Amino acid sequence: MRSLKKTVFLDRDGTLIIDKVYLNDPNQIEYLPGVFDALRLLRDHGYQFIVVTNQSGIARRLVEMENLDETHRRMQAEFARHGVDLSRFYYAPYSVESNHYIRKPNPGMLLRGALDHSVDLKKSWMVGDRWSDVEAGQKAGCRTVFLSGVEAPQGEADIITASLLDAAQLMIASN
């Protein structure tokens, strides 16, 4: 039996990269300040990383699949260049109106990632800048981080802070 791993599930837009609202051009990827340092710190404390992202731009035909795949390939390469392995990208290509089980706030992407990557959900975190990220993490049984700034908190999260680097330090301190 494989041992279960502690994992940080990360939203993409507004958490790792600047939210361009329907990013369709991989050349427009811009990383948020401190993201590489934050993930290296968490890596050094034994976490693996899985990105879980709603991508309604696919359903709306504002984002092309090949561009989404290329964006994720480039992000994976850039994080690797900074010493961080992003284990996998999961995305929900469904419309905002959809209640599909993998679209956040539903926990489907996290649960799928947990099965695919031997994740111990109780020792894992969901980090995002939307309240739907927090809800998905809670429904999956993870601890949660809400990165404030875009939306106001709509309930309780384990950590509420403005930056991923601050979040990483608080996550480590809470263990």
Q: Which residues are catalytic?
A: 11, 13
In the sheet with 159-161, reading across from the earlier edge strand, the strands are 86-92, 48-54, 7-10, 125-128, 143-147, 159-161
Per-residue buried b or exposed e for 145-154, using 16+ beta carbons within 10 Å of the residue's own CB: bbbeeebeee
83 Rama sector, left if φ>0, alpha if ψ -120 to 50, beta otherwise:
left
d(CA 145, CA 18): 18
Strand, helix or coil for residue 136 = helix
CA distance 26 to 141: 33
For residue 59, give the H/E element and its range.
helix 56-59
Task: Supply 89's token pair.
Answer: 């990208």
